[in-house]
């Protein structure tokens, strides 16, 4: 018999969630807090002490000794500073205390977090502020048990220094404009609209002992060397394949740990590449989904260690086989629980649906460059546009049915081929739309999948905050324009119809239903004037164009200053990452590969001499030695070159943009050039002397 897992008991057991609050807080306090959480009203400071005390009591019962303000600085990982609950008393003992003040606000010394010039070190103070819309939780590791309070992190002057702040602001912007437009459309009961998000997380698992023998994985998260194994993913036998027992053990444990934290881990399966897997939770509010995804990545890493595994979240841990992404599923839901992106059953609902769809098309086309930078990272550069899903050009896939409807709207009062009704959107005679889940286009970076949009560009290791706050804002902006127009329309039906048609015509270039990998699409996209931004360095400027600044300022999501600081941080992160990779490569090449190859070449030379001395045929040994010599000479030259440019990069003066451009054009290129002879040598040298585990050993030995 299997040990029974009581899922409903485990689920959320480490979360200070609604049911815990309801059970433990005085009724009036609970009601007050709930109003803040649900309606976004200001928090009543008078209740903070009561909430804090109850939180502490609950946490102590669960074994917690410390609390922390848990936040997401611009490093890409989460941050926490633990404080014990203790407060000394006169008799030399301690009381365990946690005040409302401590709950609401923290003042970590923030000088070591990236600020992109927003905060001079003499103004080191930063603030963390409680985000009560994301529930507090207990993080239990093998050695600690901490009450974690999700917080936003900003500078002394209130500028956002984290990933959460712009996300919350963008959710509010979208709420305002969506509600407004719904009201204009006669949907007067809607008070609030929230975004819901379900991120599918891809990852690799490799054996921890093998991992430890690879400095590239340790320092950079990806392999910098490695010849392709005899078998890659060409057999398509891993995707949805049977899960190996050791991986099953990991997944079981991971589910339990995720469930404890209230993360609704739902779907798990093997992915396309060997050793690659995926986990998808059930969707949640945008803010909570974003926090949960950060927690999930952390939990994956922790649980993997328990199983002697290493979880690789890098976008491209192995060259030549599929990388990892994070598909961000996104929709808008009213306070009554209605999904606005659900085509609906009645023509009236259809009209509303089509207006929102049109707004999204407009927003994405107008701001494709900003959406692109939201998914850009050094690691993702290996993925986007590199002959795997998805391409670097942003386009939208709608599916046949919707495409057909838009075509008819575009060409006037066409008769619908689908139901024979008159196509005149404003007058409520649109045909019934079936939910179209079968028509999937796997190459599209942004696909409409029945009742949500799936954005497939985001990097597997990154926070989903960026892609979401950008998406929320660009959609809010299009909705704002629509609401502005419709509010003053004289003939409402006519106005709606024209709005959909004209907007569609103006922005339909962003729609593409074909093969996103093909060379023809690149050419076609260029003809259409769509941006094709192949790397992070070229993507970053989109953050600080006049267009971007006015967009984000208009919706109070980020200011000019905050945007500039983010662009700066992105450049810095890129430069640092390339430098670390270059140094790691130099280290491995000089201290591991070169000595191993020379040693092996020596032994081949010895064999050759021995064969010669007995008058044998030396042709094979000679040929091998020559091939090794040619490659090691090329290798040595490439290594010297990499050393030179890496050093130049360190000494560069000038803007961070110019440094990043240098890193991309010289350092990164030099790294690619060094890899080629190294991988060739791996195929020539005795596997017993090769100094670290190969792709084959990493990908297949679990």
The residue among 285 and 577 lying less far from ligand ADP, judged by its C-beta, is 285
Q: What is the C-alpha to C-alpha distance for residues 534 and 373, in angstroms, rounded to an integer?
A: 10
3-state secondary structure 305-322: HHCCEEEECCCCCCCCCC
Using alpha carbons only, what angle is made at residue 351 by residues 188 and 403, rounded to the nearest 5 degrees?
150
Q: Which does 469 bind (CB under 5 to 8 A by kind): Mg ion, ligand ADP, none?
A: none
Q: Cβ distance 497 to 424 under 8 Å?
A: yes
The residue among 146 and 280 lying less far from ligand ADP, judged by its C-beta, is 280
Q: Is 281 in the site for ligand ADP (CB under 6 A)?
A: yes
Q: Which residues pair with 607 in a beta bridge?
A: none
The alpha-carbon radius of gyration of the chain (Å, integer) is: 28
Per rule CB under 6 A, count of chain residues that contact ligand ADP? 17
Q: What is the C-alpha to C-alpha distance for residues 702 and 697, in angstroms, rounded to an integer?
A: 9
The nearest distance, CB 458 to Mg ion, in angstroms, is 13
Q: Which does 592 bind (CB under 5 to 8 A by kind): Mg ion, ligand ADP, none?
A: none
Give the contacts of 8 (CB within 8 A, at least 6 positions apart). none
Q: Cβ distance 398 to 510 under 8 Å?
A: no
Q: Is 331 in the site for ligand ADP (CB under 6 A)?
A: yes
The nearest distance, CB 291 to ligand ADP, in angstroms, is 15
The nearest distance, CB 198 to ligand ADP, in angstroms, is 3
DSSP assignment, residue 337?
Answer: -
Binding residue for ligand ADP, selected from 65, 111, 428, 451, defined by CB under 6 A: 451
Q: What is the C-alpha to C-alpha distance for residues 354 and 432, in angstroms, rounded to an integer?
A: 12
Nearest Cα to Cα of residue 187 among 409, 335, 360? 335
Q: Which does 211 bind (CB under 5 to 8 A by kind): Mg ion, ligand ADP, none?
A: none
Binding residue for ligand ADP, selected from 372, 452, 501, 594, defined by CB under 6 A: 452
The residue among 240 and 700 lying less far from Mg ion, judged by its C-beta, is 240
Q: Which does 331 bind (CB under 5 to 8 A by kind): Mg ion, ligand ADP, none?
A: ligand ADP
Q: Cβ distance 568 to 116 under 8 Å?
A: yes
The residue among 200 and 216 lying less far from Mg ion, judged by its C-beta, is 200
C-alpha 577 chain-centroid distance: 17
The residue among 295 and 661 lying less far from ligand ADP, judged by its C-beta, is 295
Q: What is the C-alpha to C-alpha distance for residues 347 and 497, in angstroms, rounded to an integer?
A: 13
The residue among 200 and 207 lying less far from Mg ion, judged by its C-beta, is 200
Residue 106 sits at φ, ψ, to 5 deg, of: -125, 160
The nearest distance, CB 173 to Mg ion, in angstroms, is 29
The residue among 327 and 497 lying less far from ligand ADP, judged by its C-beta, is 327
Nearest Cα to Cα of residue 632 among 595, 666, 586? 595
Per-residue binder mask for ligand ADP (CB under 6 A), 336-355, x = binder: ---x----------------
Binding residue for ligand ADP, selected from 196, 201, 460, 570, defined by CB under 6 A: 196
Q: Which does 196 bind (CB under 5 to 8 A by kind): Mg ion, ligand ADP, none?
A: ligand ADP
Torsion of the alpha carbons at 322, 326, 331 and 334, rounded to the nearest 10: 160
Q: Which does 385 bind (CB under 5 to 8 A by kind): Mg ion, ligand ADP, none?
A: none
The nearest distance, CB 202 to ligand ADP, in angstroms, is 10
Q: Is 283 in the site for ligand ADP (CB under 6 A)?
A: yes
Compute the residue count for the chain. Answer: 702
Q: Which does 198 bind (CB under 5 to 8 A by kind): ligand ADP, Mg ion, none?
A: ligand ADP
The residue among 196 and 374 lying less far from ligand ADP, judged by its C-beta, is 196
State the chain's maximal CA–CA distance in angstroms: 102
Stretch that binds ligand ADP, among 280-288, 359-367, 557-565, 639-647 (CB under 6 A): 280-288
Q: What is the C-alpha to C-alpha distance for residues 159 and 169, in angstroms, rounded to an integer?
A: 12
Q: Which residues pair with 79 in a beta bridge?
A: 71
Q: In the complex, which residue's CB is closest to ligand ADP?
A: 198
Q: What is the contact surface with Mg ion in residues (CB under 5 A)?
A: 200
Nearest Cα to Cα of residue 305 among 221, 200, 203, 205? 205
Q: In the complex, which residue's CB is closest to Mg ion?
A: 200
The nearest distance, CB 330 to ligand ADP, in angstroms, is 6
State the DSSP H helix or E strand holding residue 597, giving kind and residue range, or none if neither.
helix 594-613
Q: What is the C-alpha to C-alpha distance for residues 636 and 286, in angstroms, rounded to an integer?
A: 50
Q: Which does 451 bind (CB under 5 to 8 A by kind): ligand ADP, Mg ion, none?
A: ligand ADP
Stretch that binds ligand ADP, among 448-456, 517-525, 649-657, 661-669 (CB under 6 A): 448-456
Burial of 123 from C-beta contacts in 10 A (0-12 / 13-18 / 19+): middle
Strands 145-155 and 66-70: parallel
Q: What is the C-alpha to C-alpha distance for residues 25 and 31, in angstroms, rounded to an integer?
A: 9
In 135-192, which ranges are E strands?
A: 137-140, 145-155
Using DSSP, state whether 70 is helix, strand or coil. strand
Q: Is 202 in the site for ligand ADP (CB under 6 A)?
A: no
The nearest distance, CB 491 to Mg ion, in angstroms, is 44
Stretch that binds ligand ADP, among 101-109, 274-282, 628-636, 646-654 (CB under 6 A): 274-282
Binding residue for ligand ADP, selected from 47, 64, 197, 394, defined by CB under 6 A: 197
Q: Which does 485 bind (CB under 5 to 8 A by kind): ligand ADP, Mg ion, none?
A: none
Binding residue for ligand ADP, selected from 72, 201, 299, 329, defined by CB under 6 A: 329
State the DSSP H helix or E strand holding residue 328, giving kind and residue range, or none if neither.
strand 326-334
Tell the residue number behind the tokens 């961070």, with chain if given: 656
The nearest distance, CB 277 to Mg ion, in angstroms, is 11
The nearest distance, CB 154 to ligand ADP, in angstroms, is 28
Where on the chain is the footprint of ligand ADP (CB under 6 A)?
196-198, 200, 267, 280-283, 327, 329-331, 339, 451-452, 454
């Amino acid at each position: 018999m299997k040990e029974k897992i009581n899922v409903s008991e485990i689920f959320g057991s480490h979360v200070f969630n609604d049911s815990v609050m309801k059970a433990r807080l005085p009724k009036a306090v609970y009601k007050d807090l709930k109003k803040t959480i649900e309606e976004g009203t200001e928090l009543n400071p008078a209740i903070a002490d009561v909430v804090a005390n109850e939180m502490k009591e609950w946490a102590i019962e669960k074994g917690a000794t410390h609390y922390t303000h848990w936040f997401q600085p611009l490093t890409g990982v989460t941050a926490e500073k633990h404080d014990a609950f203790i407060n000394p008393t006169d008799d030399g003992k301690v009381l365990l205390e946690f005040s409302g003040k401590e709950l609401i606000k923290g003042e970590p010394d923030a000088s070591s977090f990236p600020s992109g010039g927003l905060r001079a070190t003499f103004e080191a103070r930063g603030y963390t502020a409680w985000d009560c819309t994301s529930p507090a939780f207990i993080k239990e590791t093998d050695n600690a048990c901490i009450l974690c309070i999700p917080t936003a992190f900003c500078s002394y002057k209130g500028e956002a220094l984290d990933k959460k702040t712009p996300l919350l602001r963008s959710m509010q912007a979208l709420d305002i404009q969506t509600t407004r437009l719904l009201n204009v459309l006669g949907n007067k009961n809607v008070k609030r609209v929230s975004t819901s998000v379900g991120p599918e997380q891809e990852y690799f698992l490799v054996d921890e002992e093998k991992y430890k023998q690879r400095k590239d994985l340790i320092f950079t998260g990806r392999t910098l060397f490695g010849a392709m194994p005899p078998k890659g993913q060409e057999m398509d036998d891993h995707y949805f394949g049977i899960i190996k027992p050791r991986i099953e053990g990991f997944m079981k444990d991971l589910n339990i740990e995720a469930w404890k934290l209230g993360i609704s881990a739902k779907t798990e399966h093997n992915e396309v590449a060997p050793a690659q897997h995926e986990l998808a939770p059930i969707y949640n509010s945008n803010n909570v989904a974003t926090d949960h995804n950060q927690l999930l990545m952390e939990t994956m890493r922790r649980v993997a260690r328990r199983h002697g595994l290493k979880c690789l979240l890098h976008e491209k841990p192995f060259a030549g086989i599929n990388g990892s992404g994070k598909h961000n599923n996104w929709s808008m839901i009213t306070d009554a629980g209605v999904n606005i992106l659900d085509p609906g059953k009645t023509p009236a609902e259809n009209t509303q649906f089509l207006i929102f769809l049109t707004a999204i098309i407009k927003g994405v086309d107008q701001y494709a460059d900003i959406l692109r930078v939201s998914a850009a990272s050094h690691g993702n550069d290996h993925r986007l546009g590199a002959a795997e899903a998805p391409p670097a050009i942003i386009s939208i896939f709608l599916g046949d049915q919707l495409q057909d409807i838009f075509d008819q709207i575009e060409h006037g009062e066409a008769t619908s081929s689908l139901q024979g009704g008159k196509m005149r959107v404003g007058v409520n005679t649109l045909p019934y739309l079936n939910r179209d889940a079968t028509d999937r286009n796997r190459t599209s970076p942004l696909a409409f999948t029945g009742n949500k949009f799936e954005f497939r560009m985001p990097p597997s290791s990154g926070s989903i905050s960026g892609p979401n706050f950008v998406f929320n804002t660009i959609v809010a902006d299009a909705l704002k324009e629509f609401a502005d127009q419709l509010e003053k329309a004289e003939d409402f039906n006519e106005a709606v119809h024209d709005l959909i048609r004209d907007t569609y015509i103006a922005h339909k270039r962003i729609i593409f239903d074909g093969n996103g990998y093909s060379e023809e699409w690149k050419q076609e996209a260029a003809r259409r004037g769509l941006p094709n931004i192949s790397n992070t360095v070229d993507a970053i400027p989109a953050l600080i164009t006049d267009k971007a600044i006015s967009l984000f300022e208009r919706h109070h999501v980020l200011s000019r200053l905050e945007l500039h600081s983010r662009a700066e941080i992105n450049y810095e992160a890129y430069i640092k990452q390339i430098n670390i990779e270059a140094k790691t490569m130099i280290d491995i090449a000089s201290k591991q590969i070169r000595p191993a190859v020379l040693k092996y070449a020596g032994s081949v030379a010895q064999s050759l001499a021995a064969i010669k001395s007995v008058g044998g045929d030396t042709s094979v040994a000679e040929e091998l030695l020559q091939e090794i010599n040619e490659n090691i000479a090329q290798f040595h030259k490439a290594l010297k070159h990499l050393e030179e440019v890496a050093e130049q990069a360190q000494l560069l003066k000038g803007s961070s943009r110019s440094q990043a451009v240098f890193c991309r054009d010289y350092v990164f290129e030099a790294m690619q050039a060094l890899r080629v002879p190294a991988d060739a040598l791996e195929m020539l040298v005795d596997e017993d002397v090769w100094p670290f585990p190969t792709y084959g050993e990493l990908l297949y030995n679990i």
